[in-house]
Structure 1
Amino acid sequence: MRIEKKATLISSTTAGILVLFKLAIGIISGSVAVLASAIDSLLDLSVSIFNFFALHQSERKPDENFNFGLGKLEAVASVVEGTIISISGLFILYSAIDKIITPRAIEYMEASMGVMLFSIILTGALVLFLNHVAKKNNNLVIRADALHYKTDLFTNGAILLSLGIIHFSGFELIDPLLGIGIAIYMITSAFPILKEGLMMLLDVSLTKEETARITTMLNRLQKINGHHHLQTRRAGSDIFVSVHLVFDDATSLLDAHKVSDQVESMMRMLFPNDRVHPFIHTDPYDDSDINEMEVEQLYAT
């Protein structure tokens, strides 16, 4: 098993342990902040399971049913995760507002503080491990997982601080106020996850910086007269690039094929951490204007 998949299994196990402890203490103590942290850990568990599933399925080779592979499973997982996070954030927001309207004292304060301290220690160890794996393999999924748990580390620290303030000052209002803050944070953090997943499902092109790297490489080629119709899209760790290369009309098919193979290799070198799938069309002259006219006529009819 790849170390990336092992890392997601360890993340899932850690999140599962934290869910059990936090949920039990959150329910019996009545602390909205601890309950919010428990739900956040439940989301972490879902995210880690989704990441394991996405990494496992994305390794599958294209087949007769999925000719371009299953890289978009990562986008589907992002949309599902973002939706779950948003709904959970709304639930926490409702619980916090309800506690402000009908105040309830927090019980089992020592147990609540203990479980949050345990959560900080366990999450900190997990972040160190995930960062180690991310630096070793530079896997985007693991890097995102490490960043997510690092954020949880700060959140858990804030909750422990608020419980300490309540314990020593009796200022109970800080619990639902912190719950509201966590809910807002969860909802706002879900938006970019949802957006990225939806954009990938809609076949958004590569970023301007990534596209510029391809264009710069093509412009430096001396064996072609030009290029046009550059199209790109990303599906998880898979990058698809389509481009027309313009050759001299005296260039043989064999020579054009050799140059196209070189271009494909150079594209893969531009993105060493991704699987690049180039699709190159060879032209004996620049037919970009003609093709654009044909497309316009096609849409006009």
Structure 2
Amino acid sequence: MSDHDHHSHDHHDHIPKNERKIAIAAILTGGFMFAELVGGLLSGSLALIADAGHMLTDFASLMLAWFAFRLARRPADWKRTYGFDRFSVLAAFVNGLSLFVIAAWITWEAIHRLTAPVEVLGGTMLIIAVLGLLVNIVAFLVLTRGEGDNLNVRAAALHVAGDLLGSVAAIVAALVILATGWTPIDPILSVLVALIILRSAWKVVRESAHILLEAAPHGFDRREVAAQLEALEGVDAVTHIHAWSVTQERPMVTMEVTPTPDTDPQVIKARVKQHLHDVFQIEHATVEINSPANGGPKKGLQ
């Protein structure tokens, strides 16, 4: 016999708070983006223009993340039995890929600037960069306040962190230009920011792709799980273990359990689910019980 236990999930409870975080960050980022673009064009600073371009994609990614949370609030239906939660992971994946594009553009433009230097107005650049830094600090604090486990919020926070570093780089470049007049510092620091952005982008893309490929949740080794469950009283064999995540907060697992003779299957099922919950934090498990009278499968992973 089989059972698909529908636990009461609280995975939607955190969504409104995360949704508000994303909305506030989007308003701050979108509002200052235009000021930074104008300041970059007036001062001739690549660091500011690159940061404004980054803020444009940040604004788009934050709106995508906000939309993902709005969509995730919709209930599951007969077509989408898991609901729309996975859309937030897809949004994080797209945001991560967009960071690669931004970093490539900044690097390309920096190489061009190094071969053909342009005049940079350090004073204007410094004022805009300082204002940008303040806006990015506020947005970053909003996104990272409280729990930071949600992949979508983390992806958005990494975008803003890239902006924050871009503002710092622009401030340093402006100070160097004002002090020495050496303009190559502007594209050089832009490349440094691009490399930091790439590192963050790789982490987000790797983690979101891991979920999208239905890979096992973090810390879940089915060999270890099988060994632990088979050590429980009344459990003879655990096979056909499949684990994945709908989102980072929603791990799932299915398995077949063969109890030892003369044991209550319902008791064994409850024992297995309790262990999965207590040790691996899996609240949603589908456990099928094989009849020991049929011999059941042999121990081991199938």
Using structure 1 for the length normalisation, give the TM-score.
0.81
- Judge conservation of contact 2:44–2:120 (CA < 8 Å) in 1: yes
Identity %: 20
Structure 1 residue aligned with 2:266: 257
Equivalent residue for 1:244, pick from 256, 271, 278: 256
The Cα offsets for residues 140-174 of structure 1, whole Å up to 9 and x where unpaired, read as: 54355445534543332222111111111101011
* Structure 1 letter corresponding to 2:81: N
Higher helix share: 1
Using structure 2 for the length normalisation, give the TM-score.
0.81
Structure 2 residue aligned with 1:113: 126
In the alignment, the residues of structure 2 paired with residue 210 and residue 115 of structure 1 have an alpha-carbon distance, to the nearest angstrom, of 50
* Structure 2 letter corresponding to 1:277: H
The Cα offsets for residues 110-143 of structure 1, whole Å up to 9 and x where unpaired, read as: 22211211122222223333333327xx645435
RMSD: 2.9
Deviation larger for 196-205 or 166-175: 196-205
Where structure 1 has 5 or more consecutive residues not aligned to the other structure, the ranges are 293-301
Residue 184 in structure 1 maps to residue 195 in structure 2:
yes
Secondary structure of 1:280's aligned partner = strand
Residue 88 in structure 1 maps to residue 97 in structure 2:
no
Structure 1 residue aligned with 2:8: none
Residue 102 in structure 1 maps to residue 116 in structure 2:
yes
CA positional deviation for 1:37: 1.1
Residue 158 in structure 1 maps to residue 169 in structure 2:
yes
In the alignment, the residues of structure 2 paired with residue 183 and residue 151 of structure 1 have an alpha-carbon distance, to the nearest angstrom, of 8
In the alignment, the residues of structure 1 paired with residue 72 and residue 250 of structure 2 have an alpha-carbon distance, to the nearest angstrom, of 9
- Judge conservation of contact 1:4–1:133 (CA < 8 Å) in 2: no
The Cα offsets for residues 197-252 of structure 1, whole Å up to 9 and x where unpaired, read as: 3332221112345657855762553232232222211121321101221212433x
Residue 50 in structure 1 maps to residue 64 in structure 2:
yes
Equivalent residue for 2:208, pick from 197, 216, 229: 197
Instruction: Name the CA shift for 1:16/1:60 in 2 (closer, same or farther; >3 Å).
Output: same
Residue 36 in structure 1 maps to residue 36 in structure 2:
no
Residue 124 in structure 1 maps to residue 137 in structure 2:
yes
In the alignment, the residues of structure 2 paired with residue 65 and residue 10 of structure 1 have an alpha-carbon distance, to the nearest angstrom, of 33
Secondary structure of 1:134's aligned partner = coil
Instruction: Name the CA shift for 1:164/1:219 in 2 (closer, same or farther; >3 Å).
Output: farther
Report 1 or 2 for greater relative contact order, CA contacts < 8 Å, sequence distance ≥ 6: 2
Secondary structure of 1:60's aligned partner = coil
In the alignment, the residues of structure 2 paired with residue 59 and residue 228 of structure 1 have an alpha-carbon distance, to the nearest angstrom, of 35
Structure 2 residue aligned with 1:224: 235
Secondary structure of 2:215's aligned partner = coil
Secondary structure of 1:226's aligned partner = strand
Q: What is the number of equivalent residue pairs in this alignment?
A: 284
CA positional deviation for 1:33: 0.7
Structure 1 residue aligned with 2:297: 287
- Judge conservation of contact 1:26–1:32 (CA < 8 Å) in 2: yes
